[in-house]
Chain A
């Protein structure tokens, strides 16, 4: 424990956390397959990840091991850790800095039969006040001379939300995800993906620590706090289109766009372009730009007019109206290890992203001397690092 804890705020956000990695990894499993019926390559990745921005630091290791058997099955496992120390704006204005650890284990089995590929994955994560479990099943099939791949997947998650310092508090959240993927080779240099995913949540969906503020003329600072309260259901849909083009020289250009909406009134979209350029056979450089924008939830407000002024109340900045820009760069270096007979090759990778967040209706309460609601809007920048080594065998 680096800091004395008074009241805790979950830095990663309760929203969608239970399914996040289960969905990601199971879908990565499907995505890994690539076009044409082949199992993913045997590999081991050892990664150090770090997020630093807005007073929040999260870092830790992630290890992924994958091995195929008899060209039919491929099993994989991932161990992932978040080491968190938070003095984010929520924490410094309504709670105390704290440190936390989250451990996550995922296992999966892929099966290939002809041009049909199936993946089953289970994920479990644990931290002091949150447990999440999720199961994911996906199947995809190649058609039309392997130019077209259609996949569907389903995920179900069971979360338990607890509150540190309150042994009587325990709530459940259930999550389901339905996804359809279409991948199409357009030309010998151009491939396109279409994805649609619907997610439904039911249960305790807000943060047991987070507060909303309301106008209070009896308070010396002009406002007071009360617990946030979210609806107990949420349904969202997201549609994405992605394309990748092989340039006339050896390099690739990627572009993607996603549109999102949900029953809480959030509408968002993001777009990204990336360029991958091999300098030599062993050295690959990559650069990207990403833009994300969203409108706030219907029940979000930076300052409510009075206590319990509406049924549902939120002041989570992830539910506010805001946008962010991301620029990123990466380098990969491939090397051979002839002295280790069973290894085909290795790869060193470093990727760094710089994210710039700008909020429209989430005010910076650290600034004093302003009337309630007149504070300047909050903004912050963060650095995201992924450094990893991969071994192929």
Chain B
């Protein structure tokens, strides 16, 4: 079986851990528990009849208390930047992290706009959002709470990770 390391990156409190929990264990908790350091989970997906074991590196959110650690990207086949559509600032911070990753390695990326179950209270217009989306290989709107699009998004991520080493 092929194993692929993928990293979940983004600002604090956007729902990275919740997305992993929903995908791997099928559960969601309303209670926010901040991640410290790194936690790795595994799940096998099938892409074009090929079984891929995704190693999901869920990293502590980047903020004033925790800087972004590029060394954890070593050996990653793809990454996602998770942002929260109820906090405009998370998109700006997500783009900054994206820029830092791009300086470090050239691997596929996916922009995930999470918390789609809530009203989008950020001020980004569709055009502005499109502008940001263009910097990524793919984008997805997800809700870790309802599970909307989570499975599809991780499958897309697996395809990107698989494709990046096929080329």
A binds B: no
Q: Which positions in A face B, CB cutoff 8 Å?
A: none
Measured CB to CB, the residues of B under 8 A from A are none
